[in-house]
Chains A and B, each alone.
Chain A
Amino acid sequence: MNAATLFRAERLVKRFGGVLAVDGISFAVPERSIFAVIGPNGAGKSTLLNLLSGIHPPDQGSMGFAGTGLANLPAHRRVRLGMARTFQKIRLFKQLSALENVLAGFHARHHVPWWQHILPGAALARDRACCQQEARRLLDFVGLAERAAARAGALAYGEQRMLEIARALATGPRLLMLDEPAAGLNAAEVERLIERLDVMRRDGLTLIVVEHNMDLVMTIADRVLVIDHGQYLFEGSPAEVQRHAGVIAAYLGTAA
């Protein structure tokens, strides 16, 4: 694995009051790979993802994406660089249709002269047709082609998870960060998710996946980072992680 590094985190620290939610985490994600972050509940996984996506600024440490430093770049600017994410607690626009949710994801990619927003012309019509087509393709990709007109809030839980992925893909990312994408999915849906993630990787996407579902992580991840109490515990291939005693201890208690 000598692929170029797409994302790099150096000694990230985040405190909430007296609690060290993330305590000196460093890692590098190679391009076109799936990088999993695992750890018990409250290990700081979601906080870590919030630092990576720019929702919270880190107290210390640095991040780099595709060779440029991110410093304290806000979330919406990171999207323009090619970083997208989903949320552990699903944050769809519940009142809007599935299609409208995905269309909103194209925000940073419109090519329309400003005046056509009030006096619609050919460029806006072209842009609209193009976004519609692409949005339907993305809905199809996550298996929701038939549900385009349904209100997002009315979709089944598993469908909502997939719709959030489609919406994130609409931003045209190079790096997609998923916060527990398998949470709440049944076995068949997890199967399908794994297959889709594999296709995304083959299409050139890089993924960071924060996950509890060991099946998913062990099946598809190229590298796995294990954290506990906000600290680095271990990093390696899925096979190495499975053998590592400390990981087992963190997950199953100290008996191991």
Chain B
Amino acid sequence: MVTILLIAVLPLLFQGTYARSILVVCAINVLIAIGLDIVIGYAGQLNLGQSAFFAIGAYVSTLLVTLAGVDFWIAFLAGTIGAALAGAGLALFAVRLRGHYLAIASMGFAIIVYQILMNWISLTQGPLGIYGIPPPPAWRVPSIGRIDFSDIRNFFWLVAAVAIAAYLLLRNLLRSPVGEALIALREDEVSAASLGIDGARWKIFAFAVAAALAGMAGCFYASFVGTLVPDAFFITESFTVLAMVIVGGAGTLLGPAAGAVLLTVLPELLRGIGDARLVIYGLALTLVVLFMPGGMAQAARLITERAQHRQRRR
């Protein structure tokens, strides 16, 4: 509750358009990262296709809005479902693969989607990009009045509300028997099968949920930035999200959300050093894997444990 309030006042604390834009990007990245955590942290499958699902959400919704004049929220739904179907489709072919092979297959998928965006010029405009994508239409709420999403504050509240709702629902899901099944799959697939857990089915499910969240994020991203170019969905985006999950702490849900915020804000603060900020991702990832494989979540746990220990000593 306190957290939600804190998040709600954020755009009031930060005044500039630039700072507020970063907040929106944070919320968008949280959606993608917590989605990926289901596949990587819970089901234990290395998925590097997240940039493709992000792209599918963004392009499907944008094309529906700009070419077909569909209402934003219907396009939003279509983008989310489209991404989920793509995720399920990829998993359908990839369920027999694991480890490196799955990583390569999902990476291949991300590259294929990128190439389609670059080369299907009649539809996507290729590298020229699509411009002038409108923000979601304003809401007329009785007694409050008009909520206009071209105001960044409103846009942030919208995305943050969706991200928080997604987080809470996912947390419930992962604490339910579904979460038990995914964790069993991560720990030992043969063992899981011996308990009646259908590995293929749950992997497809995890991929679809992860893709749906990335798709949602894509819809928001397109209508927020107003411009779509394929380069925003290059394979490096998959690695960025992977870094968010690992740095935050895979398999903790809250960790990857925190990782998404950290790895969105940190490079912006260090913008002065130019492309060298990409080094930060690599460095953060390497350091975490080497010294703190549980990520920020593990670090937080260690710190609280140590504090409790010290208190008991007194």
List chain A positions with a Cβ less than 8 A from chain B.
53, 55, 74-77, 79-80, 84-85, 87, 91-96, 100, 103-108, 110, 112, 116-120, 124, 127, 167-168, 170-171
A94, B193: Cα distance in complex, Å: 16
Contact B191 A92 (CB under 8 A): yes
For the complex, count residues of B whose C-beta is within 8 A of A: 23
Contact A119 B188 (CB under 8 A): no
Contact A107 B180 (CB under 8 A): yes
Contact B191 A76 (CB under 8 A): no
State which of A76, A84, A94 has its C-beta within 8 Å of the C-beta of B197. A76
Q: Please report which residues of chain B, range 129-185, place their CB below 8 angstroms from some CB of chain A when the two chains form the complex.
A: 169-170, 172-173, 176-178, 180-181, 183-184
A106, B190: Cα distance in complex, Å: 16
Number of A-B pairs whose CB atoms are under 8 Å? 92
Contact A119 B191 (CB under 8 A): no
Contact B193 A74 (CB under 8 A): yes
Contacts of B184 in A (CB 8 A): 93, 104, 107
- Contact A118 to B173, CB < 8 A, known contacts A80-B196, A87-B191: yes
Main SS of chain B's interface residues? helix
A84, B196: Cα distance in complex, Å: 9
Contact B169 A84 (CB under 8 A): no
A3, B163: Cα distance in complex, Å: 59
Contact B180 A119 (CB under 8 A): no
- Contact A91 to B190, CB < 8 A, known contacts A96-B183, A104-B180, A119-B169: yes
When C-beta atoms are compared, the residue in chain A nearest to B176 turns out to be A117
Contact A85 B194 (CB under 8 A): yes
A92, B183: Cα distance in complex, Å: 12
- B305 CB within 8 Å of chain A: no
A86, B207: Cα distance in complex, Å: 29
Contacts of B197 in A (CB 8 A): 76, 104, 107-108
Contacts of B169 in A (CB 8 A): 118-119
Contacts of B71 in A (CB 8 A): none
Contacts of A53 in B (CB 8 A): 194
Contacts of A74 in B (CB 8 A): 193, 198
When C-beta atoms are compared, the residue in chain B nearest to A103 turns out to be B180
Contacts of B198 in A (CB 8 A): 74, 76-77
Other A-B pairs beyond A75-B193, A107-B195, 19, CB < 8 Å = A55-B190, A75-B190, A75-B194, A76-B196, A76-B198, A79-B193, A79-B195, A84-B194, A85-B194, A91-B190, A104-B184, A104-B192, A104-B197, A108-B195, A108-B196, A112-B176, A118-B170, A120-B176, A171-B196
